[in-house]
Amino acid sequence: MLDIRQTMLEYAARSGHKFTDKGNGKYLFDFAFNMKDGKTRYQYVWVWILSGRARGKDCVYFSSRVATFDPTVNLYNLFKDSGRGNYSSVTIVSDTDKEGNPCESIVVHASPIHEYLSEAEFLNVLWEVGENADILEEKYFDGIDKN
């Protein structure tokens, strides 16, 4: 079975991104994407294992926040853009904002089955989740880079 902590640790070390073990089996991967204009954009991806999520099989869960959902968000466009994902999808989840108030967040997430994952596939999914979340944040939320 793939050691996801070790895989992310090594990937962060060789690629210039950041990895934090948050304890309790939760990991935070902080992508630093170099853009064509020379700027850098950042995107957090949370990673943890969800036991038994897929017909009893454990899944590696990846989740990256795009923005806070409100009724002005154009779900039609987000839905169309969701089609770019190979392993990931866009969804709305219950969340809390910075002040601790309940809110709903738009997130990109994926949850492939752990026992099937190779290192290459895992890293592919990790990258896809972070990249898609950052693209949606930039494209539909006025170019901000908060998450």
Binding site for another protein (CB under 8 A): 53-55, 59, 75-76, 78-80, 82-83, 85-93, 109, 111-113, 116, 118, 120-121, 124, 128
Quote the Cα angle for 45-3-41, to 5°.
Answer: 20
* For another protein, the closer CB: 88 or 147: 88
Distance CA 52, CA 8 (A): 22
DSSP state of 128: H
Least Cβ distance, residue 109 to another protein (angstroms):
7
* For another protein, the closer CB: 38 or 52: 52
Least Cβ distance, residue 118 to another protein (angstroms):
6
Distance CA 84, CA 64 (A): 16
* For another protein, the closer CB: 12 or 92: 92
| Residues 59, 50 contacting (CB under 8 angstroms) | yes
